[in-house]
Amino acid sequence: MYKILVMFMVFTVSSVSAMEKSGGHGSHNHESHNHESHNHSASESANGSDIAFPEKMFSEFISDLANVQIVIVDVNGMVCDFCARGIEKVLYTDDAVKKVRVSLELGKVLIAYVSSKKVDFEEIKNIFLSNGQNATGYIIKKI
């Protein structure tokens, strides 16, 4: 039994090493660099974000919104619903936040801020860090 557990631990540790070596950079979806057009954006700026959000999801997200700016945040460590839960809770404590959508599959969070909000990526990074995750990049779209 002990041998089985040791083998399990070795397997786990080696899996961790292998996946973490490739994971941080290996999961890039190469649709990322095509800067998929969303047609809604009057303007767009990006900083370190690697993947554009799929058009259909984005359209659904903004369908009931107007005069907002959408910040699409890339997140590391958002691997389960239970651990992502705090992000939404903390973001909604800000009156400037109108809507939030989490995508576990893409490792991204969409945040709809009122258009008057001055988006500060350091503030966003701190919000994600307070939930134990790392925001690594973002795109801003004004609609």
Partner 1 sequence: MGIFKHLIFAITLFMLSDLAESRPVSWAGGSTIMYRTNSMMSSYLFHYSPTYKYSIGAEYVNDKYFNNHFINLRSTYLLDRHNTKISQRNIYLTGGISTKTNQDFSYGIHGDWETRRIFSSFSVINKHTKEKNYTENEFQLGLAPYLGEYNDIHTWVMLKAKKNTINNDWEIYPFIKLFQGDYLIEVGSKNSHWDVHFIIRY
112 token code pair: 């709809």
Residue selected from 12, 37, 47, 67 as contacting partner 1 according to rule CB under 8 A: 12
Only one residue has tokens 């009156």, namely: 95
The CA distance from 38 to 63, in Å, is 13
Q: Does 10 bind partner 1 (CB under 8 A)?
A: no
Among 53, 46, 73, 82, smallest CA distance to 134 is for: 73
Q: Going edge to edge, which strands form the sheet with 97-103? A: 43-47, 134-142, 68-76, 108-114, 97-103
Which 23-62 positions form the footprint of partner 1 (CB under 8 A)? 23-27
Q: Does 122 bind partner 1 (CB under 8 A)?
A: no
Residue 43 Cβ vs partner 1, minimum distance, rounded to whole Å: 27
Q: Does 14 bind partner 1 (CB under 8 A)?
A: no
Task: Candidates 11-19, 31-39, 58-66, 113-121: pick the segment binding partner 1 (CB under 8 A).
Answer: 11-19
Residue 116 Cβ vs partner 1, minimum distance, rounded to whole Å: 26
Binding site for partner 1 (CB under 8 A): 1, 5, 8-9, 12, 15-16, 19-20, 23-27, 74, 76-77, 79-87, 89-90, 101-105, 107, 129-134
